[in-house]
A and B are shown apart, each in its own frame.
Chain A
Amino acid sequence: MPTVKFLEFDGSEHKIEVSVGTSVMRAAVDNGVPGIDGDCDGQCACATCHVFVDSAWLPQTGERTPTEEELLGFASATEPNSRLACQIKMTNALDGLVVRMPAGQH
C-alpha cells in the first residue's frame, strides 16, 4: 500500500499506509495523526485539514479546486504549497508523499 509521511508542526513524523482512493485527510484522521481535524468530513467546507505539500510532490498532487482556493484564502499562514488534505486522493504515484502541518488548524 502507498504511504504518506505526515510531519507535525513540531517535527514529529507519522508514516501511514493509505489505500488508493482514500483522501490524505481521511488517512490522518482515521489514524489519529494530530494536527489535522477535518471538521467537515471531507466536503471541502472548513479548511481544517490545511497541509503544506513537500515541494518535490507538488506536480503529482495537482491543482487546487476553486472552492479549495477560496477556503484556503481564510486559513492562516498559507504558502504557495498549501493544500486541503481532503482534496488530495491517494494514488500509487503518490507513494512516499510528504506533507507538513501548520501551527494549528483554523
Chain B
Amino acid sequence: MNNISLERVRDDAYAIPLDRLDVSEASRFQNDTIWPYFERLRKEDPVHYCNDSLFGPYWSVTKYRDIMAVDTNHKVFSSEVSNITIIDRTEEERNPMFIAMDPPKHDEQRKTVSPIVAPGNLAKLEGLIRSRVSAILDGLPRNETFNWVDKVSIELTTQMLATLFDFPFEDRRLLTYWSDVATTIPQAGQEIDSWEKRASILSECLAYFTRLWNERISAEPRSDLISMMAHSPATRNMAPREFLGNLILLIVGGNDTTRNSISGGVWFMNQNPDQMRKVRGNPALVPSAVSEIIRYQTPLSHMRRNALVDTNLGNKEIKAGDKVIMWYISGNRDDEVIENADSFIIDRKNPRQHISFGFGIHRCVGNRLAEMQIRILWEEMLSRRFDINVVGEPERVSSNFVHGYSALPVRIAA
C-alpha cells in the first residue's frame, strides 16, 4: 500500500469513537490495513470491550504481557467451554479437539501426538525435508512469473503433513483443501456458502481418515499420527466427531501456519532488501531470521478463551462467560516488549521472544518442526543464490484468524 492510503487508514483508525472500534472485520486483514487499529488499542485501551460486532460482544487483549497473562491462566480462561476462535458455535456444531479442551483431557491427548515432533524425531526428519526442499527449488520455473504460495509454501508443508500422517502421497492436496475448508467461514457467493456444505466436505475428510484408521488399528503400532492415536488409550476410543476435530487441528496446525510464514518470509525479505543482504552475507543468521519471520507474519492472528469466573485484566472487569480474544498479531507489535516492533529485523536481540506460538499449555506443539522447515528452505535458497523477485502485491486471505496469503507472484532470474 502507498503512503497516502496508509495515512488515511491511520486517520480513520484514530477517528472512530473508541467504543465503536471493532478489530474483527476480516477485510482489514485481507487488505493489510489492520495495523493502526491495533496500534491505537495498545496505546489507548489495551483490554478493549466491543459490544457490537459480527461475532457478538468480545474483549480484545492487544498487549504482549496481557496476552501472556491470559494464555498462561487456563484455570480462569477456558479453551473448552466455547469455541477457540472468535466465531460462536454451539456445542453440537463444534468438533471436540484437544486444543479446545482444558486439563486433564487436553493433556492426555496432546501427549499422545507430541512425540512426533520431539527432538529425536525431528532429527530424523531433517534429511527428508532437505531433499524435498531441494527437489522443489530445483524444479521451479526460471524467468517466468509463478505463484510462490502454490509451488513452494503449499507444496512443502503438504508433503510434510502427508508424511506425518503417512497419508497417500498422491492424494496429499486433499489435506490442503480440507485445511482451507476447515478455516473458512461460509459466505454467500463463495465456494463454501453454507455451514452444511462445509460439514459435508469435512465428512469426506473423516471418511478418508477412517479408512486409514481402520487399517492401522489392526496393524502393529507405527510412528505416524494416525497409528499413534489409534493405539493410545487417550485417543483410541474417540467418537467420530472427536476424531474429525483432532484431524482438523493437526491438519490446520501443520499446514496453514508454516505455509503462510514461508510466503511471508519471501515477501518481507523483498520489502526489506537490507535484511536480505544481511542474511546473504551471513547465513548463520538464518535461525534468527526464521524466528523474526514467524513473529512478523503471526500466521494465526488470534486465539479465543472464555472467562470461567469474574476476573480483572488490565483494570477491566471481565465477567464469567465473557469472550476474550488474544490478538497475537498485535502482541507481536507491542514495543513495550519488542524493540522497534513494527520493523523487520532479522538479527534483533531476542528473536525467539514472540507470541506467534502462544504460551502455556496450549503452546504450538509443532513449533520446532515449523522452524526447521522454514530454516532448511532458507538455507537451501541461500546456497543456490536464488534471486527471487516479488513482481506484484500478495493476495491475502479474508480472515481474522488465518493470517495468510493465497498468492504471491514471483520471478526467479535464470
Contact = CB atoms under 8 A, between A and B. Distances in A.
Given A45-B363, A74-B110, A106 B352 contact: no
A105 B372 CA distance: 13
Contact of A74 (B119, B353, B361): B361
Contacts of B359: 40, 43, 45-46
B114 A43 contact: no
Given A76-B114, A76-B118, A76-B119, A40 B107 contact: no
B114 A74 contact: yes
Contact of B119 (A40, A46, A47, A106): A106
A37 B288 CA distance: 12
Contacts of B122: 104
Contact of B68 (A38, A40, A106): A40
Contact of B361 (A39, A70, A103): A70
A77 interface: yes
Contacts of A103: 119-120, 123
Interface in B329-355: 350, 352-353
A67 B73 CA distance: 10
Q: Which interface residue of A48, A67, A73, A76 has the most chain B CB atoms within 10 A?
A: A76
B72 A104 contact: no
A74 B115 CA distance: 10
B360 interface: yes
Interface in B35-82: 68, 71-72
Contact of B72 (A43, A77, A105): A43
Interface in B299-351: 350
Contacts of A46: 359, 363
Given A45-B359, A46-B363, A73-B107, A37 B352 contact: yes
Given A45-B363, A73-B111, A76-B114, A39 B353 contact: yes
A106 B363 contact: no
Interface of B is mostly: helix
B68 A39 contact: no
B277 to A, nearest CB: 24
B71 A104 contact: no
Interface residues of A, number: 23
A86 to B, nearest CB: 12
A1 to B, nearest CB: 24
A45 B72 contact: yes
B72 A106 contact: no
B353 A41 contact: yes
Given A39-B352, A104-B122, A74 B68 contact: no
A105 B118 CA distance: 9
Interface string A65-105: 00100110110110000000000000000000000001111
21 contacts: A39-B352, A39-B353, A40-B68, A40-B353, A41-B353, A45-B359, A71-B361, A74-B107, A74-B110, A74-B111, A74-B114, A74-B365, A76-B115, A76-B119, A77-B119, A103-B123, A104-B123, A105-B119, A106-B114, A106-B117, A106-B368
Interface of B: 68, 71-72, 103, 107, 110-111, 114-115, 117-120, 122-123, 350, 352-353, 357, 359-361, 363, 365, 368
Interface of A: 37-41, 43-48, 67, 70-71, 73-74, 76-77, 102-106
The 7 closest A-B pairs by CB, nearest first: A104-B119, A45-B359, A76-B118, A103-B119, A39-B352, A45-B72, A40-B359
Given A39-B352, A39-B357, A104-B122, 17 more contacts: A38-B352, A43-B359, A45-B71, A45-B72, A45-B359, A67-B72, A70-B103, A71-B360, A73-B111, A76-B118, A76-B119, A77-B119, A104-B119, A104-B120, A104-B123, A104-B368, A105-B119
